[in-house]
Amino acid sequence: MQTISSTEFNRRPARYFRQAEKRPIGVAFRGRTRCMLVPLDYAGIDPLDRIRFEDLPLTARFSRQDIVAWLMVSELDRLLRDHPTETLKVMRRTLQRYREVRSMRDDFIDRWEQLLDDGAPAILSALREDSDRGAHLRQIAPVSGLLGIADRERILSAANRLLAEKRTIEKRGA
């Protein structure tokens, strides 16, 4: 574990908070570690609970469906970081199934196959686009084989929380 002095922490707090998203950092005062900055996952906080309504791109703020699609992108990001090869393989199989049963237009399937060929950074960049194109790609993302029931329940729970937050914000503005 990295340990830094409180003086060093006070000089660049944002830097150390960013670093603490990946690994614990101890903050020492007079030679003794007084506190620890820890990744939220490490602290037992679900990453989906860190997302606030203000964090959503404008194109993901309209409906529950848009919010759920954005949260699935967050979950896909985690899966691509933790298990990139397996995640891409499952997404390819899902696209193949879509093609076989004709559940999606061929040009959409071709676009997704191109994204999969380009790799995880291209996929996440396209899905995070704050445009109609990005919103559409989020809606048709081939993630059906990636998420289990527990993951879907977490996403729906987070979506309900964000919708409640949206209503609160709208009431304050009205």
Domain ranges of the chain: 2-37, 47-173
The CA distance from 36 to 20, in Å, is 9
Strand runs (DSSP E) across the chain, as ranges?
2-5, 25-29, 32-37
Residues 6+ apart with CB under 8 A from 76: 87, 123, 124, 127, 141, 143, 146
42 has a pLDDT exceeding 70: no
Residues 6+ apart with CB under 8 A from 169: 53
What pLDDT was estimated at residue 160? 92
The CA distance from 25 to 19, in Å, is 8
Give yes or no for a contact between 122 and 128, defined as CB atoms under 8 angstroms apart.
no
pTM of the model: 0.66
**Residue pLDDT, tens place only, 53-81:** 777 777 667 788 888 888 888 888 888 88
